Amino acid sequence: MSNASPLMQAALLTQFGAPLSIAAIEQPALRPGQVLVRVLASGVNPLDTKIQGGNAAHAQARLPAILGIDLAGVVEAVAPGETRFLAGDEVYGMTGGIGGVPGSLAQFAAVDADLLAHKPRTLDMRQAAALPLIFITAWEGLVERARVQAGQKVLVHGGAGGVGHIAVQIARSLGAQVYATGSADQKALIESLGATAIDYRSQTVDDYVQQYTGGQGFDVIYDTVGGATLDASFAAARRYVGHVVSCLGWGAHKLAPLSFRGATYSGVFTLLPLLTGEDRQRHGQIMREAARMADAGQLRVLMDGRRFTLEQVNQAHALVAEGQARGKLVIDIGQ
């Protein structure tokens, strides 16, 4: 009589820069505090493709790796003593794919229950799987770092992007006046989210700071672009009280323009709870906030309608890596 664990299909990264390969591996065993999730959908993020290409040392991937940071699915089993979730619950979260924690490109995942929340009732599995990383990143910046308040003027750089379009909606839900940069062809989308669109190609920083703040600067600026855009953020912060947040503060930047305005800066590194094991319950709490917003009609996620199975994961990763996705791409794992 065999005691071997049942097998599951998973996409494995065995060599950086190589395609993912589909393999039959053992289903994960549950440890205390975990739930076993039957994965139905896995959201694809640019970070996933950078990890695959060997260009994301900060994600601390360990080969062989199961990638896939974002997950939505159904609880199959719970570890003894775990009371927050029951078999059959629909759940979602940012649950693995980095730092040696197996990700969602597999039929099953053993997930730290702290990282999970019940899926929003108003979103399907694909929409739910598209949300976790981008929502957590946006929420940490606006709520936890900048503490956005009603009536403040908030500028989101890259308002039509993954993190950006979520940040616009979070800021709106908090009662802020929201402005967002984008290209001319993104104007209608940005306005549909409730923000004033700023064409960064046709308006200088001085132009839009003068037009929308009377030269005072914005109370909060969320940079989701990095590079020169972060430098522009420093020059657009409100004097004395302005706060700049960036989730892409990678480069070397002169802080003098920010200091001369008496303003402040903070960075967002969404991967920390997964990498360190610390404060994971906060990510579960943030996912509950996302569900609350979605079910209140305050949140929609821009989706790329193309469908991919686990066996087609490399095609999906290529589209994201090449910047060809129109909204979030999601892999269908099982139904």
Of the candidates 47, 52, 50, 61, which has an alpha carbon nearest to the alpha carbon of residue 11?
52
In whole angstroms, give the CA distance from residue 273 to residue 69.
Answer: 13
In whole angstroms, give the CA distance from residue 68 to residue 48.
Answer: 6
Q: What is the pTM of this model?
A: 0.97
Residue with tokens 């522009």: 232
Strand-by-strand arrangement of the 196-199 sheet: 196-199, 177-182, 153-157, 220-223, 243-246, 264-267
pLDDT tens track, the chain, 335 positions: 446 679 999 999 999 999 999 999 999 999 999 999 999 999 999 999 999 999 999 999 999 999 999 999 999 999 999 999 999 999 999 999 999 999 999 999 999 999 999 999 999 999 999 999 999 999 999 999 999 999 999 999 999 999 999 999 999 999 999 999 999 999 999 999 999 999 999 999 999 999 999 999 999 999 999 999 999 999 999 999 999 999 988 888 999 999 999 999 999 999 999 999 999 999 999 999 999 999 999 999 999 999 999 999 999 999 999 999 999 999 999 75
In whole angstroms, give the CA distance from residue 21 to residue 145.
Answer: 39
